[in-house]
Amino acid sequence: MALTPRLFDWLGDGLGFGARRLLLAAAILLPPQIAAAQAWPETLQGHGGPVKSVAVDASGDRLLSTSFDYAALVWDKAAGEGALADPLRLVGHDAAVNHGAFLSGNRAVTVGDDSALILWDLTSGTILHRADGAGEKVLGLAVSADERYVAVASWANEARLYQLEPDRLILRHRLTQHRNNVNAVAFSADGGILYTASYDGGIRAFDTQSGSFLREIANLGWGVNVIEVLPGGGRLLFGVTDGKLGVLDTESGQEVKILPPHSRPVLSLALSADGQRAASGGGDGLIRVFATDGFELLEEFENPYGPVWGLAFTAQADSLFYVGLDDEVHVWQVAPRKPFEPVLGTFPRRFQVAETDDPGALQFARKCSVCHTLTPDDANRAGPTLYGVFGRKAGTVPGYPYSNALKDLDLVWTAQTISDLFDLGPDVVTPGSKMPIQRLKSVEDRDALVAYLEKATDPDAHGGPRNNTKGD
Q: How many CB atoms lie within 10 A of CB 81?
A: 10
pLDDT tens, position by position, 3-38: 333 333 433 444 443 443 333 334 334 444 444 446
* pLDDT at position 341: 64
The CATH number of the domain covering residues in 350-462: 1.10.760.10
* pLDDT at position 348: 58
Q: b/e string for 405-430 if b means 16 or more Cβ within 10 A? A: ebeebebebeeebbbbbbbebbeebb
As beta bridge partners, residue 377 has none
Identify the helix (H) or strand (E) that includes residue 287. Answer: strand 286-291
Q: For residue 206, give the 3-state DSSP assignment.
A: strand
CA–CA dist 229, 198 (Å, integer): 16
Helix residue spans in 302-357 (DSSP H): none
* Domain locations in the chain as residue ranges: 1-38, 43-333, 350-462
* pLDDT at position 273: 96
- pLDDT (tens digit, 0 to 9) for every residue of the chain, 472 residues total? 333 333 334 334 444 434 433 333 343 344 444 444 468 999 999 998 899 999 999 999 999 999 999 999 999 999 887 889 899 999 999 999 999 999 999 999 999 999 999 999 999 999 999 999 988 999 999 999 999 999 999 999 999 999 999 999 999 999 999 999 999 999 999 999 999 999 999 999 999 999 999 999 999 999 999 999 999 889 999 999 999 999 999 999 999 999 999 999 999 999 999 999 999 999 999 999 999 999 999 999 988 778 999 999 999 999 999 999 889 999 999 988 777 666 666 655 455 565 667 788 888 887 787 788 888 877 777 788 888 888 888 888 888 888 888 888 888 899 899 888 888 888 888 887 777 777 788 888 888 888 888 888 888 765 544 433 333 3
Cis ω on the peptide bond leading into residue 260 (within 30° of 0)? no
Task: For the chain, give the number of residues.
Answer: 472
For every residue of 12-78, DSSP letters joined together read HTTS-HHHHHHHHHHHHTS-HHHHHHHPPPSEEE--SS-EEEEEE-TTSSEEEEEETTSEEEEEEGG
CA–CA dist 147, 369 (Å, integer): 39
Strands 43-45 and 328-333, bridge-based pairing: antiparallel
pLDDT tens, position by position, 121-158: 999 999 999 999 988 999 999 999 999 999 999 999 99
Closest by Cα among 284, 432, 380 to 71: 380
The CATH number of the domain covering residues in 43-333: 2.130.10.10
In this structure, are residues 265 and 256 in contact, taking their beta carbons and an 8 Å threshold?
A: no
* pLDDT at position 244: 98
Strands 116-121 and 126-132, bridge-based pairing: antiparallel
Closest by Cα among 255, 249, 260 to 282: 260
Strands 182-187 and 169-175, bridge-based pairing: unpaired
CA–CA dist 341, 363 (Å, integer): 35
DSSP state of 251: T
Closest by Cα among 400, 365, 394 to 381: 400
* pLDDT at position 437: 73
* pLDDT at position 352: 54
SS3 string, 423-462, reads: HHCHHHHCCCCCCCCCCCCCHHHHHHHHHHHHHHCCHHHH
Strands 255-259 and 266-271, bridge-based pairing: unpaired
* pLDDT at position 15: 40
If 0-12 CB within 10 Å is exposed, 13-18 middle and 19+ buried, where does residue 439 land? middle
Side-chain-facing half-sphere of 402: CA atoms under 13 Å: 19
* pLDDT at position 461: 64
CA–CA dist 182, 223 (Å, integer): 9
**Percent helix, strand and coil across the chain, each to the nearest 5:** 15, 35, 50
